[in-house]
Structure 1
Amino acid sequence: MDLLTSLKMHNQPFGGAWVEQTRLDIGADLMGVLAVDEHSHDDFLYAIKTFLPTAKACVVLGMEYDSEIMNLIKRPDKYGAGPKTGDLLSPHVNQLNRVVDQANYDLARLLKKQGFRSIALPSRGLPFRPGQMKASLSYTHVAEAAGMGTIGTHSLLITPEYGTRVRLTCLLTEAPLQTTNRIDPIDDCTHCLDCVKICPAQAISAPGTSERYKVDGFRCKFYRDRVDNCGLCQKVCSYATGHSENQGGPLVASSNFVELVSAAHHQQQFGEEE
């Protein structure tokens, strides 16, 4: 049965049955769809214009992080003289990227065989917008719009199935897929602020009344690139795994880190001093 026929079947509202079967076929843990038209959010339209102007839908795929790996992540002050087991997160992420990218590639091939132009975007390495520390497309926001979960105070997607333990990627396609919707949309974030307390870079702040989250992407990236791959905000989320990492009070960024990130901010804005 071809894609268009399956989407028109009465027993497949919103293409949901096709989405679920396709998810199983390509081996993804999660799959959601966001139909896109001229009335869609500007950020989504920007990405489509950039990568595939004829696209009618964004498909988001998700792969679960191993809870065993996440449980090995600790606060920097809790490793002591033992091995830094949290370092396993980085190779695990690389492995997940390969798996979810392969599933995305397989989906693109499936859609192309049905006659729909499609482009599988990478799970990591999507180009930034010129002059901004902002990716051309936020997979997290697309996933939320596709009914896959809610963005929390830490700016991560919180899914009913796996909490924050999800690696995402996205595909743009000409296929006339319909948006997948949750039956009872809820706010998955408990707003406990554990992620704010645990962030060693102090990159996450309590959002204001008109904000959903407040994250300094520069500080977060600088810490992960220069100090530690981290993952603490992902671990301590109440929807992820059981933890006790916040015992001992909030973490405070070291004065050395504060100086480094301030200097890097200055260099980014004004360039190297002569």
Structure 2
Amino acid sequence: MGLTEEVKEYLYSQGADLVGIAGAESLKEAPEGCRPTDYLPTTKSVISIGYALNRGPVLNLPQSRNEYLLEFECANSTLNHLGHKIAKFIEKKGFDSMAFPATASIGDGARLRGDISHKHAAVAAGLGCFGVNNLILTPDYGSRVRLATVITEVELTPDQPFKDSLCNRCGKCVRNCPAGALTGWEELYTPEAGWRMDKEKCYHYIFVKLGGRRCGMCIAACPLSRGLNRPAGN
């Protein structure tokens, strides 16, 4: 078994629902400071990890707000653990690696944005495409997925970037966004790159209106979020 297969098998065995690999060059167009090589100059491969949220707390929002927050926090914790573990797994093989937190940075100039784009990494690694809700839509779980990213200097075999469009632009996420953060997508959105939604409105609703409890209404509104919940790795 090659190292690429070992990495994927290890992550699935530890609880990952989705795993894909991209070459570092696939994210070279990211903004300065957000490219893999900005953090690890010798980066050759990018590993995208997906972990599906349970349907119940998502699809029953907003009544299940507290339960959705539990899902959100547990998923992020699991992804952080998976990222740390696979980075250590690869470093024991002799290759420097680095895991990025599943949660976004919070602060001036970086609201709701991580050090690296988990979403663009997921598209490049073949896990899914952008929806109008500016989240990644996956074939098995819709947008009911949290993501994490690991970069490494070992050259792994990349997966094919996701080429299909899963979003039918039904507009349910737009109509159900309580912050009005998804209006104006029509001429900006693409399945490959998403679009620049109004993150300030989203941020204000989450951290002012909801007091830090996460929203999730754009996920709940998406028809694809019912998903299949098929076994990991299949």
* TM-score, normalised with respect to structure 2: 0.84
Aligned-pair identity in percent equals: 26
The structure with the largest helix share of the pair is 1
Cα 1:206–1:46 change in 2 (3 A) is closer
Could you say which structure has the greater relative contact order, defined with CA pairs below 8 angstroms and 6 or more residues apart? 2
* Partner Cα distance (2:89, 2:16) in 1: 14
- After superposition, residues 126-205 of structure 1 pair within 5 angstroms as 126=105, 131=109, 133=111, 134-181=113-160, 185-205=163-183
Residue type at the aligned position of 1:30: L
- After superposition, residues 193-272 of structure 1 pair within 5 angstroms as 193-212=171-190, 213-228=195-210, 229-241=214-226
Match of 1:37 in 2: 25
Q: Deviations over 1:168-212 (max 9, x none)?
A: 111111110132126x83101110010110011101014233533
List gaps (5 residues or longer) in structure 1: 8-14, 75-83, 243-274
Match of 1:78 in 2: none
1:92 aligns with 2:77: no
SS in 2 for 1:42: coil
The CA RMSD measured in Å over matched residues stands at: 2.5
Cα 1:238–1:152 change in 2 (3 A) is same
* Partner Cα distance (1:86, 1:131) in 2: 27
Residue type at the aligned position of 1:234: I
* Partner Cα distance (2:64, 2:45) in 1: 40
Cα 1:31–1:39 change in 2 (3 A) is closer
Please say which structure displays the higher CA radius of gyration: 1
SS in 2 for 1:220: helix
* Partner Cα distance (2:109, 2:215) in 1: 26
1:24 aligns with 2:12: yes
Residue 214 of structure 1 deviates from its aligned partner by 4.8
Residue 72 of structure 1 deviates from its aligned partner by 2.3
* Partner Cα distance (2:27, 2:102) in 1: 26
Residue type at the aligned position of 1:193: G
Task: Tell whether the 8 Å contact from 1:194 to 1:236 is kept in structure 2 after alignment.
Answer: yes
Residue type at the aligned position of 1:189: C
Residue type at the aligned position of 1:209: E
SS in 2 for 1:60: strand
Residue 94 of structure 1 deviates from its aligned partner by 0.9
Residue type at the aligned position of 2:30: D
* Partner Cα distance (1:139, 1:73) in 2: 24
List gaps (5 residues or longer) in structure 2: 228-234
* Partner Cα distance (2:142, 2:216) in 1: 14
